[in-house]
Amino acid sequence: MNIIKTDIEEVVIIEPRIFEDARGYFFESFSQQIFEEKVCKTTFVQDNESKSTFGVLRGLHFQKPPHAQSKLVRVIKGKVLDVAVDIRKGSPSFGQYVAVELSEENHLQLFVPRGFAHGFVVLSENVIFQYKCDNYYAPQSEGAIAWDDPDLNIDWKISTDKVILSEKDKQNKPLKHAEWLFDYKENLY
C-alpha cells in the first residue's frame, strides 16, 4: 500500500498494490494494521455504498460532533471526481480542498478526516461508490456546504448544467455562511 501525500497534510490518497495475471487482478483494499501504521489510528464502524449516474453530485457533506466522521472512499465501478474541503476554523488550509479522480481503473482511495466536508461528482455513465466511516450516521448531526461556493471555486470537471443535485443539496450555503464549522484544535480521529 502506497500513501500519497496531498496539499493538505491530513488528507491522503491510498494506492493499493495490485496483482494482475491472466485470470484478472487481486488487491487488499483495506488492512486495519497497515492503515494505522501509515495513516492514523482509527476504527471504521460502518460501510456504505451508493450507485449514481453521470452528473450526480453528492456533497459537500459532513457530520458534526459528537457524530463527526472520517471516511475512506473508493470507486468499485465507474469514475468520480472526489473532493475534500478543510472546514476547520483556524486551520492553515481552511477553505482549501483536495480533488482526486477515483476510478475502477486506478483503484485509488481517499482518506477524508473529520473536519472536512466531502463530496463527489460522477464522471462516468454510472458509478458504484463505497466508503468506510469511523462513526455511525446520525441524521441530527448532518452538515453541508454549497458545492458551487464561488470562494472555493472547485472545478468539478463537468458543465454546471449537467450537475444533478438532491433537493437537500440545492439548499446548502457557502462556507462563509456555514452555521457550524470544526475547530482546528479538535481531534480529527
C-alpha triplet 56, 180, 134: angle, nearest 5°: 65
Is-catalytic flag, 67? Answer: no
Task: Kindly name the residue from 67, 118, 131, 137 that is annotated as catalytic.
Answer: 131
**What 3-state DSSP class applies to 139?**
helix
Q: What is the CATH number of domain 43-183?
A: 2.60.120.10
pTM: 0.94
Q: Residue 180's pLDDT band (boundaries 50, 70, 90)?
A: confident
Q: For 128-155, write each residue's pLDDT tens digit.
A: 999 999 999 999 999 999 999 999 999 9
Average pLDDT, the chain: 95
Task: Kindly name the residue from 61, 97, 107, 118 that is annotated as catalytic.
Answer: 61
CB atoms near residue 165 (< 10 Å): 16
Q: For 20-32, write each residue's pLDDT tens digit.
A: 999 999 998 999 9
Q: Residues for the chain: how many in total? A: 189
What residue spans of the chain are helical by DSSP H? 32-38
Is-catalytic flag, 189? Answer: no
Predicted pLDDT of residue 181: 83
What are the C-alpha distances in Å from 50 to residues 76, 105, 132, 166? 10, 18, 12, 14
